[in-house]
Amino acid sequence: MVDTRLDDELEALRATVEEFAHDVIAPIIGDLYERGEFPYAIVKQMGEMGLFGLPFPEEVGGMGGDYLALCVALEELARVDSSVAITLEAAVSLGAMPIHRFGTDEQKAQWLPQLVTGQMLGGFGLTEPGAGSDAGGTRTTARLEGDEWVINGTKAFITNSGTDITGFVTVTAVTGEKADGRKEISAIIVPSGTPGFTVAPKYSKVGWQCSDTHELSFAECRVPAANLLGERGRGYAQFLSILDEGRIAIAALATGLAQGCVDESVTYAQTREAFGRPIGTNQAIAFKLADMEMRAHTSRLAWYDAAARMRAGAPYKKQAAIAKLHSSESAVTNAREATQIHGGYGFMNEYPVARMWRDSKILEIGEGTSEVQRMLIARELGL
């Protein structure tokens, strides 16, 4: 039999993050969300707790854990607020992890100490206005002139790219042509403030109001040749592997949102009365809540399975896609049902389920749409 219970160390982490989310984040996040403010104070506290360093070894300043530990933390954060959770997820999975996985010793020494403590955030510049699911359609270019890369192009929807503590964005760019005529795509680190690197005003988004998201443009932007991340021509492959890992993290985050919808709705159903009794005593509401709990539970089992395979060094691409697909769709359904249970109050921003409803939809889009996940699963089945 497979035991899906967390060990004592992970359970202690889960309980610590749960307490932090409820005691620190919950009382203030509503106001920050309404104003669309980045949660700098919360990020600072998460850094002091070691959350940004969870999956990194101690020798680089991390906590010596792994991706499972990160995902446990993400689920607990997302039970209260997804903006905070995605800030951590993107900072670790998309900002710091590429440096850790593919960086030179010099790059790691330069960037990792601040990344793993949350003092600095890094961005992940893959998506473009015309290249989302088809990330291989990258049009941003980088030409090598002497000892500098000269970058031109635009990136879209880039998380953690314009905060006061953003240190760099790693961008994918076409650096040549392969022998078979396909694009040679490489990854290059572009420090914030580099001339020719422009961060557009933040997007007006439906949800994730406390998450930082911008369009980025590069016009004859010059960075040292040494800023190449990993092997030239391997940038696309590197980022695909990063996305496989990231899908497990997004699945954990989506599970947290789905569970948060259950938490809020159970409390509301036990206290809100209609026709002289709590609405939770009505079978129509009780059955909604039972189905919501079922979705959250099965989503958790799915990401646990994918994370366990990754931890064991076994293939996990299909399981990560399954977890991401199931949990994101469960989050959307649970958010809709939670809003319905709350009735008119569910449409009011003072109630957390209103945030959860607005935040849920992006989970079916970001880090691979539901359609892309189905394509990956089908491909793994040999179709």
The catalytic site residues sit at 367
Closest to 33 measured CA to CA, from 353, 362, 371, 367: 353
- Cβ atoms of 341 and 280 within 8 Å: the answer is no
Which residue type sits at 6? Answer: L
Distance separating alpha carbons of residues 220 and 206, to the nearest angstrom: 33
Closest to 205 measured CA to CA, from 344, 336, 36: 36
Distance separating alpha carbons of residues 10 and 16, to the nearest angstrom: 10
H or E element that contains 73:
helix 67-78
Q: What is the dihedral of CA 177, 179, 181, 184, to 10 degrees?
A: -30
Specify the pairing of strand 166-177 against strand 121-125. Answer: parallel
Going by the DSSP 8-state scheme, the letter that residue 128 receives in this structure is B
Distance of alpha carbon 323 from the chain centroid: 14
Going by the DSSP 8-state scheme, the letter that residue 152 receives in this structure is E
Residue 153, beta-bridge partner list: 218
Distance separating alpha carbons of residues 160 and 123, to the nearest angstrom: 5
Give burial (CB, 10 Å; 0-12/13-18/19+) of 155.
buried
Distance separating alpha carbons of residues 123 and 116, to the nearest angstrom: 14
Strands (E), 10-140: 121-125
